[in-house]
Chain A
Amino acid sequence: MSEYNFAYLDEQTKRMIRRAILKGLAVPGYQVPFASREMPMPYGWGTGGVQVSAATLTPDDTFKVIDQGADDTTNAVSIRKFFENTARVATTEETEKATVIQTRHRIPEAKLREDQIIVYQVPIPEPLRFLEPRETETRKMHSLEEYGLMHVKLYEDISQHGAISTAYAYPVKVSGRYVMDPSPIPKFDNPKLEMDAIQLFGAGREQRIYAVPPHTKVVSLDFEDYPFEATKADHPCDLCGAEDSYLDEVIMDDAGSRMFVCSDTDYCRSRREAGHVGQLAEENAA
């Protein structure tokens, strides 16, 4: 497909995005404004992530896309196809083999390495937005490090639900300075934000890019008497028997029966190939 420039975007745009990425890496957690381009997909489908991936990919890269942990959902398939067409890069579903991973709502269960880059799709990059609607004010709060309001949200959680009920997009403080929205990943994934890979966050509609460099300290906000807890469904995976992975709950019929499966499809598949068997998989085999 010679009519596309490599990875769809023109070189000037990629340079502009790379500058924003570098600035984001230099100031961990700071939201760098960038001139987000119109992409051939609707806002909310990962236009920010796609632009960051396009500026990051090289012809030698192996690309993986996950949507809520799965490689086979519409969003993941269409973005993977998009880069197969426009960049002709190799794609994979295996976390270990990928060099660039674009993700929506999950961090893979497998530990990421230093030679990998993970790109998050971010719908609303501003963690303070739902408490303070004025952009001028939230920018000032970031620049002056006035983050008391973030705890007001957690206070409201406890006063209404008896515990911090924020289960996704759980606010974190990056490198002791900026409070950041880690995109809507479940808070189960928050401890993984301190990782060896480079983490890039792209918000297309809101025109912001931010980043967490490798080995950066990322602290989930909490109260002294209500410490942060990474929660998951209290159940092993019904297909592969994993007890340490984040689970999706699947309703099976009208009678209320349900099964729990790993949300990371690649992790579940590799475990089953290695011979691990969950409760429901056993019944089917029998």
Chain B
Amino acid sequence: MTPLLQVKGIEKRYGARIGCTDVNFDLYPGEVMGIVGESGSGKSTLLNCMAGHLEPDAGQVIFDTRVDGPVDTVTMSEPERRMLGRTDWAFVHQHARDGLRMSVSAGGNIGERLMAVGDRHYGDIRDKAIDWLGRVEIDEARVDDRPSAFSGGMQQRLQIARNLVTGPRLVFMDEPTGGLDVSVQARLLDLLRGLVREMGLSAIIVTHDLAVVRLLADRLMVMKNGHVVEAGLTDQVLDDPQHAYTQLLVSSVLQV
């Protein structure tokens, strides 16, 4: 089986400082990978390098495209990479405001990716937008409301709908539950888990919340100071941490 995404020797430096270095892994179709680590450990840098938002200084990000098979996305042309970004890839930002157009209605937000890939039938676009609102548990009556009238949890769900409407195969998520209260977090996680399984999505989730990866991720990478210090199956890493930092991280989780 061809991996959907192969990351080889990715390195990003900010001057003399290391953003992330020597990251290698394969992601297979349908697999969900978690990346955890403290603030400043390089997990967001790594995610942005993989998603094409940052240009890595070294390494390859090889994506298995539908037409041409595995292609290095770092060296592919910008139009191709941006096309991937609106079709086969999705990016869920931590702050929904970064991923939504706040001055455009919920329906327009969901429809944007459809129109960007050439959909020109208003009725179809609107039907799909309403269908997706339903799938992320937002009332159909809100389709013409602007996201600024939505709660934080609804905005985040709208952002997910907007990203998944074109049926991507790989979703990058940067702290998707950050800034939400725990009950809303739980609902969002439940929804995400359902969508990931139902659509057979592959996902890379960056978070510092171990509960999130325990629920969603099949595999886990632990980062510290730009290096991957431990990787493995999620339950294995969390239940039997080997590296000192991972042990610290696991023991730092607050118990209620």
Q: In the complex, what residues of A have CB within 8 A of residue B116's CB?
A: 146, 148-149
Known: A151-B120, A155-B115, A159-B107. A144 touches B79 (CB 8 A): yes
Q: In the complex, what residues of A have CB within 8 A of residue B125's CB?
A: 155
Asked whether B97 is an interface residue with its Cβ less than 8 Å from the other chain, the reply is: no
Cβ contact within 8 Å between B121 and A223: yes
Q: In the complex, what residues of A have CB within 8 A of residue B79's CB?
A: 144
Dominant SS among interface residues on chain A: helix
Q: In the complex, what residues of A have CB within 8 A of residue B104's CB?
A: 131, 152, 156
Q: In the complex, what residues of B have CB within 8 A of residue A159's CB?
A: 105, 107-108, 126, 143-144
Asked whether B64 is an interface residue with its Cβ less than 8 Å from the other chain, the reply is: no
Q: How far is the CB of A229 from chain B (nearest CB, A)?
A: 14
Task: Report B93-149 residues with CB < 8 Å from chain A CB.
Answer: 101, 103-105, 107-108, 111-113, 115-118, 120-123, 125-126, 143-144
Cβ contact within 8 Å between B123 and A225: yes
Q: Mark each residue of chain B from 56 to 89: 1 if its CB lies under 8 Å from any CB of chain A, else 0.
A: 0000000000000000000000110010001000
Which of B111, B117, B118 contacts A155 (CB under 8 A)? B111
Q: How far is the CB of A132 from chain B (nearest CB, A)?
A: 9
Asked whether A3 is an interface residue with its Cβ less than 8 Å from the other chain, the reply is: no
Cβ contact within 8 Å between B112 and A149: yes
Nearest CB in chain A to that of B113: its residue? A148
C-alpha spacing A152/B117, complex, angstroms: 12
Q: Mark each residue of chain A from 128 to 163: 1 if its CB lies under 8 Å from any CB of chain B, else 0.
A: 000100000000000010101101100110111000
Q: Which of A131, A159, A224 is most buried by chain B, counting CB atoms within 10 A of its CB?
A: A159
C-alpha spacing A152/B112, complex, angstroms: 6
Which of B78, B120, B144 contacts A144 (CB under 8 A)? B78
Known: A131-B104, A156-B108, A159-B107. A148 touches B115 (CB 8 A): yes
Q: In the complex, what residues of B have CB within 8 A of residue A144's CB?
A: 78-79, 82
Known: A131-B101, A156-B104. A151 touches B126 (CB 8 A): no
Cβ contact within 8 Å between B101 and A225: no
C-alpha spacing A156/B105, complex, angstroms: 7
Q: In the complex, what residues of A have CB within 8 A of residue B123's CB?
A: 225
C-alpha spacing A144/B79, complex, angstroms: 6
Cβ contact within 8 Å between A155 and B107: yes
Q: In the complex, what residues of B have CB within 8 A of residue A225's CB?
A: 121-123
Nearest CB in chain A to that of B126: its residue? A159
Asked whether A226 is an interface residue with its Cβ less than 8 Å from the other chain, the reply is: yes
Q: Which of B108, B113, B115 is most buried by chain A, counting CB atoms within 10 A of its CB?
A: B108
Q: Which of A149, A151, A224 is most buried by chain B, counting CB atoms within 10 A of its CB?
A: A151
Q: How far is the CB of A158 from chain B (nearest CB, A)?
A: 6
Q: How far is the CB of A3 from chain B (nearest CB, A)?
A: 50
Q: In the complex, what residues of B have CB within 8 A of residue A158's CB?
A: 122
Q: Mark each residue of chain A from 107 to 143: 1 if its CB lies under 8 Å from any CB of chain B, else 0.
A: 0000000000000000000000001000000000000
Cβ contact within 8 Å between B82 and A223: no
Cβ contact within 8 Å between A226 and B112: no
Nearest CB in chain A to that of B78: its residue? A144
Nearest CB in chain B to that of A130: its residue? B103
Task: Report A214-259 residues with CB < 8 Å from chain B CB.
Answer: 223-226
Nearest CB in chain B to that of A156: its residue? B108
C-alpha spacing A160/B123, complex, angstroms: 14
C-alpha spacing A155/B112, complex, angstroms: 9
Nearest CB in chain B to that of A145: its residue? B79
Cβ contact within 8 Å between B105 and A223: no
Q: In the complex, what residues of A have CB within 8 A of residue B86's CB?
A: 148
Q: In the complex, what residues of A have CB within 8 A of residue B143's CB?
A: 159
Cβ contact within 8 Å between B108 and A155: yes
Nearest CB in chain B to that of A226: its residue? B122
What are the 5 closest A-B residue pairs judged by CB atoms, nearest first?
A148-B116, A151-B115, A148-B115, A223-B122, A224-B121
Chain B contact residues, CB within 8 Å of chain A: 78-79, 82, 86, 101, 103-105, 107-108, 111-113, 115-118, 120-123, 125-126, 143-144
Can you list 7 A-B contacts with CB-CB less than 8 angstroms, sorted by A residue number?
Answer: A146-B82, A148-B117, A156-B105, A158-B122, A223-B120, A223-B122, A224-B122
Q: With A148-B115, A223-B122 given, can you name 6 additional A-B contacts, CB distance below 8 Å?
A: A148-B113, A149-B115, A152-B108, A159-B107, A160-B105, A223-B120
